[in-house]
Structure 1
Amino acid sequence: MFERDLRTWSFLVGAAATGLSSCRYERHKMTNPHTAHHIDGPGDLGQITQVLIVGVNASDAGTCAVQTAVHLARQLNAHLRAVHVRDADDTPVDPDNSEWEADTEDAVARIRARTLGSLQQAGWDHWSYREYYGAAARRIREDADTLDAAFIVIGVPRRDLLARIGEALGDTVAAQLIHQADRPVLSVPATS
């Protein structure tokens, strides 16, 4: 059943059109037919009964979250779904720059390559990688709901002043998931 649900979800996500409210992202989506990347690891899903979701981004906390999630997936014999949601953090500051789209694609490609490298080097073959447009917490939650994930793993930045303010305002992806997800959320701090 899990394998069928995973294939169905892959089809639905490939066919769905969701995006950010930002006009720049909307224009990019209209000119770029590839609104998401879908990459599956080499593992056979035959004996897998659980799914873990890990949210990834360009931060050190995102890398720590992937490492922790791989360890947990191995311990639980679970499929690991890595999810990256393209957002403003992936884009250069000046959207009027002529290299804006190329710089954005380069930044996202670096995140993808780093995540895939971590997954491939971990020695756990039961993984998949999905990349979406949209609000990060919502897309991660939707993926977790669709796959009935056992829990979500998310990296949290080091505790500097801006991180504390963002968390207090409920503005971080981790804070939103902790407050809104209907399943356990494991927050992994960035290591020094």
Structure 2
Amino acid sequence: MADTSDGESPMSSAELVVGWDNQPASAAALRFAVGLARRLDAHLHVVHIADVADLPVDPDASDYEQQFQASIEAHAVGARALLDGLGAKWTYHAMHGRPPDVIADLAEEVDAVMIVLGAPRGGVHSFIDTFAGQSVAHQLTRTQGRAVLLVPDRSPE
């Protein structure tokens, strides 16, 4: 699924890829990436990767597929709400797969100058993921030949 702000293929001087999962750090990353895209006259590729959080609670529900699609669409609506008001050229991608691979592949495909992500959420799970080398940010910074920018979910006090 790809949704483009102008309905045409991007014709910008630079491409940026930003990960989106509707979390506060992701929203901060998207806002930052929009500002950066405007400054660079760049096209923004917003990518949401379907994961366990998108799956309905009851796998036996008769409307399981509809619930799953509604969850995916809710992410798209959240991103569009931020993007439409911020005035940047963008394309929304809903994809599935291993997040570091999907983001890296898209960045390669569009020859992105930079990948923008929300900083890890913190907490025990985030610590374990980072320590074990499983966080998306950690994997991308180790495997990508392009810049990876981490944006915190709030500005420093």
Scaled by the length of structure 2, the TM-score of the pair is 0.88
Asked whether 1:133 is paired with 2:96, we answer yes
Q: Structure 1 stretches of 5 or more lacking a match?
A: 1-36
CA distance in 2 between counterparts of 1:108 and 1:120 reads 18
Pick the structure with more strand per residue: 2
Asked whether 1:143 is paired with 2:109, we answer no
Aligned residues: 154
CA distance in 1 between counterparts of 2:63 and 2:120 reads 28
| 1:185 aligned residue | 148
Asked whether 1:75 is paired with 2:35, we answer no
| 2:56 aligned residue | 92
Matches within 5 A, 1:37-186: 37-42=1-6, 45-46=10-11, 48-124=12-88, 126-186=89-149
Q: Structure 1 residues 158 and 134, CA, compared in 2 at 3 Å: closer, same or farther?
A: closer
Q: Structure 2 stretches of 5 or more lacking a match?
A: none
What SS does structure 2 have at the residue aligned with 1:53? strand
What SS does structure 2 have at the residue aligned with 1:83? strand
Q: Higher relative contact order by CA 8 Å / sep ≥ 6: 1 or 2?
A: 2
Matched-pair identity in %: 34
Scaled by the length of structure 1, the TM-score of the pair is 0.73
What SS does structure 1 have at the residue aligned with 2:3? strand
